[in-house]
Amino acid sequence: MLRLFFITLLALTLAACGRQPEEAVVRNDVEQVLDQTFGEGVFDVAAFSRRGTAADSTAPDDERRRVVYYDVELELQRDLVLGDWAEPGAASLVTALGAGPLSVRGVKAGGNVAGDRIVAHASAIYRKEADSWEFVMPAGIQEPGRPRVQAGPAPNSAQAALDRLAEITRSVEAGGSPTAQRVVDRELQRSLARISGRLTRIEQGYPLAAGAERGEYAAFANAWAAIAAGEQLKIAPVATGGSEENLELLRSGSVILALAQADTAHAALSSTGPFQGQGGFGNLRALGSLYPEYVHIVVRQSAVMQSAFDLKGARIALGPEGSAVRATLQRVLAAHGLEAGRDYEPVELRLNEALPALISGDIDAAAHVIGLPAAPLRNMLAEGEQGIKLLPLADEAVERLSQAHDGMVAARIAAHVYPGQRIPVATVAVPALLVTTEELSPDEAARLVQSVYQHGNDLLARGSAQGSQVSVRTARMGLTIPLHPGAEQALAELASGVPRP
């Protein structure tokens, strides 16, 4: 009997340990993080439920850590635009909750209003300290229908147009001049080409040159494609190597839409940089600016460097030679008086390869241009001597770059976007643009723009962490190429709140 009593007591003790930290403690920690990030009184935790725990397999060898999973429902106490480019937004919310983009619902393009509710499946990490569990940082969840074909024009309107065309053709053939005949022939050929192209796009979709399969461009492209499918609009994302390849595919006619950095699009238009000698891409047009891609420079936590000026003599991972990202980063370093080969050693490592090399000491810094939050950085940035930290750009360099008017804008990475990042980090950003060519008709351009920028889009919930920053308010920000006439019309209608007929 005594043995049974001790077994029961042990089981109860183990069960109690498994529930640590308790739900009330986790809820209080989450509320504190939200207040620190967004200010007090912005979010009210309307519902909170602890869902279980698991050992943290990424914990240092000398630490015992536990991941606590929970569901939370937040009610906004005031209007809030979580897509603002310069303020804590959805990226900060995702980090504060320890969630993934697909785990958050309710963040709306164009802004949320008081009373809106945002729900999330989230997580937090706790470290065992003596007899208690100490909150360390949000964990961050890792996450991994065919559309109907749009109906064509009403038969009666199409038939009326064909009848009128037949009448014009017979009239010209009967008594028209050779010049009139050439006009009719030329316009018929153009019309047939436009009609054929549009029908192909309706049936097969709009190929969109995105980026690497697990990259930020691909996440946005897939999120938009999911939303567009519900509107009988098929967007077909294409995996590519990034901005430069996207613009080459667009120029060749292999795709009709592409994602590109604003400075790279400007280079293609003007035949400069990586496009020098190719001739200007004269019919390149923008459908709008999507979201900012921020310059990130990271060094080891123990490094004495205080700004990018201190990178002289460093080995810096900038990505592949000849890439658009590398060209952008070299401009940023040049604004700090640093020239490749003379003042620093450029290393051809991509971000995922560069971060382990940084930790091991094989390189001194890693740089990239990417939207917030950058998943590889978010997973690795943490407090402690073995971690890494963001290095700010110098104010004078930011001013110099932003005044060049070729795609870069002054920016800052808001506090708490990354675990352990307690203060904003000065940097520059390059807007990601949705681009096309003049081959796209005004009506098609307007429809695509309406789909992307419509108020209430929850691209975040579809898997794009940057999707909450897509807004008609910022659709013209940082444009470096002409706006498509159809996009101009659609953005004006969206801004005025007048729907298309």
DSSP 325-393: HHHHHHHHHHTTT--BTTTBEEE---HHHHHHHHHHTS-SEEEEEEPSS-HHHHHH--SSTTSEEE-PP
Q: Where are the domains of the chain?
A: 19-138, 155-201, 206-291+432-496, 294-430
The answer to whether 426 and 412 are in contact (CB under 8 A) is yes
The answer to whether 308 and 344 are in contact (CB under 8 A) is no
Fold match between 206-291+432-496 and 294-430? yes
CATH of region 294-430: 3.40.190.10
Answer left, alpha or beta for residue 423, where phi above 0 means left and psi between -120 and 50 means alpha: beta
Cβ neighbours for 102, distance < 8 A, ≥ 6 positions apart: 143, 461, 462, 463
The answer to whether 160 and 154 are in contact (CB under 8 A) is no
- Which residue's entry shows tokens 């370093």? 333
Of 104, 139, 144, nearest to 123 by C-alpha is 139
In CATH, which of 3.90.700.10, 3.40.190.10, 3.40.50.300, 3.40.50.150 is domain 206-291+432-496? 3.40.190.10
- Which residue's entry shows tokens 């810096």? 316
Q: Dihedral angle at the C-alpha atoms of 58, 60, 63, 65, nearest 10 degrees?
A: -10
* pLDDT at site 256: 95
* pLDDT at site 443: 95
Helix axes 243-252, 324-334, angle to 10 degrees: 130
Specify the 3-state DSSP secondary structure of 62.
Answer: coil
* pLDDT at site 201: 55
* pLDDT at site 345: 96
CA 354 to chain centre: 21
Compute mean pLDDT per 10 residues along the chain, 501 residues long, and list them.
45 49 92 88 94 81 86 94 78 83 84 93 88 75 38 46 64 63 61 48 79 87 94 92 91 94 93 86 96 93 90 94 86 95 93 90 94 79 66 94 84 84 90 95 95 85 86 91 96 79 53
The answer to whether 478 and 285 are in contact (CB under 8 A) is no
Which value, in Å, is the radius of gyration of the alpha carbons in the chain?
27
Taken in order 235, 239, 243, 246, is the CA torsion positive or negative?
Answer: negative
* pLDDT at site 33: 87
Cβ neighbours for 180, distance < 8 A, ≥ 6 positions apart: 172
Specify the 3-state DSSP secondary structure of 449.
Answer: helix
DSSP label of 483: B
- Which residue's entry shows tokens 């567009």? 228
Specify the 3-state DSSP secondary structure of 135.
Answer: strand
* Residues making up the chain, counted from first to last: 501
